[in-house]
Amino acid sequence: MNNDRWTAADRLFDAALERKPHERAAFLCEACAGDEELQRAVESLLENARDAGRFLDTPALELIAERHAGGRGAPLARGSRVGSFEIESAIGAGGMGEVYRARDTRLNRAVALKVLPELFAADTDRLARFEREAQVLASFNHPNIAAIHGIEEGPAEAGHRIRALVLELVDGPTLSERIARGPMPLDEALPIARQIADALEAAHEHGIVHRDLKPANIKLRPDGAVKVLDFGLAKALEPAKGGPTISSSPTMMASMPGMLLGTPAYMAPEQARGTPVDKRADIWAFGVVFYEMLTGRRAFDGEDVSSILAAVLQSEPRWDGVPPNLRRVLESCLEKDPRNRLRDIGDAWRLVDDAPRAAASSLRPTRMGWMAAAALAGVAAIALWAPWREAPIYVAPLPLRLDVDLGSDVSLEPLVGPDSMVIGIK
Same domain? 65 vs 45: no
Average pLDDT for 150-177:
82
pLDDT tens, 2-33? 555 666 776 677 677 767 677 778 788 878 87
388 in a structural domain: yes
What domain range includes position 46? 3-56
- In whole angstroms, what is the distance from residue 11 CA to residue 193 CA? 39
188 in a structural domain: yes
Same domain? 27 vs 102: no
* The pLDDT of residue 405: 59
Q: What is the CATH number of the domain that holds 240?
A: 3.30.200.20
Same domain? 240 vs 220: no
* The pLDDT of residue 156: 53
- In whole angstroms, what is the distance from residue 280 CA to residue 340 CA? 10
* The pLDDT of residue 72: 47
Q: Dihedral, CA atoms, 300, 301, 305, 307, nearest 10 degrees? A: -90
Same domain? 129 vs 142: yes
Same domain? 161 vs 44: no
Cα dist from 172 to 153, 220, 222, 223, 261, whole Å:
28, 5, 6, 9, 27
Same domain? 74 vs 36: no
Average pLDDT for 382-388:
50
Same domain? 164 vs 179: no
CB atoms within 10 A of CB 20: 13
CB atoms within 10 A of CB 310: 16
Same domain? 76 vs 131: yes
* The pLDDT of residue 300: 95
Q: What is the CATH number of the domain that holds 283?
A: 1.10.510.10
307 in a structural domain: yes
Greater confidence, 136 or 209?
Answer: 209
258 in a structural domain: no
Same domain? 194 vs 312: yes
CA 424 to chain centroid, in Å, comes to 53
Q: Which of the residues 212, 230, 282, 304 is marked catalytic?
A: 212
Same domain? 214 vs 319: yes
pLDDT tops 80 at residue 195: yes
Cα dist from 202 to 75, 104, 149, 363, whole Å:
35, 28, 18, 36
- In whole angstroms, what is the distance from residue 94 CA to residue 206 CA? 26
Residue 377 CB-half CA count within 13 A: 6
Respond yes or no: is residue 104 known to be catalytic: no
349 in a structural domain: no
The pLDDT mean for the chain works out to 75
pLDDT tops 90 at residue 127: no
Of the residues 220, 249, 278, the one at which a domain ends: 249
Same domain? 271 vs 382: no
Same domain? 182 vs 115: no
* The pLDDT of residue 397: 52
Could you tell me the pLDDT band of residue 248, with boundaries at 50, 70 and 90? very low
Pairing of strands 218-220, 226-228: antiparallel
- The count of structural domains within the chain is 4
164 DSSP β-pair partners: 115, 152
387 in a structural domain: yes
160 in a structural domain: yes
- In this structure, are residues 61 and 248 in contact, taking their beta carbons and an 8 Å threshold? yes
pLDDT tops 90 at residue 62: no
pLDDT tens, 83-123? 899 999 998 776 567 899 999 999 999 999 988 877 666 67
pLDDT tops 50 at residue 351: yes
355 in a structural domain: no
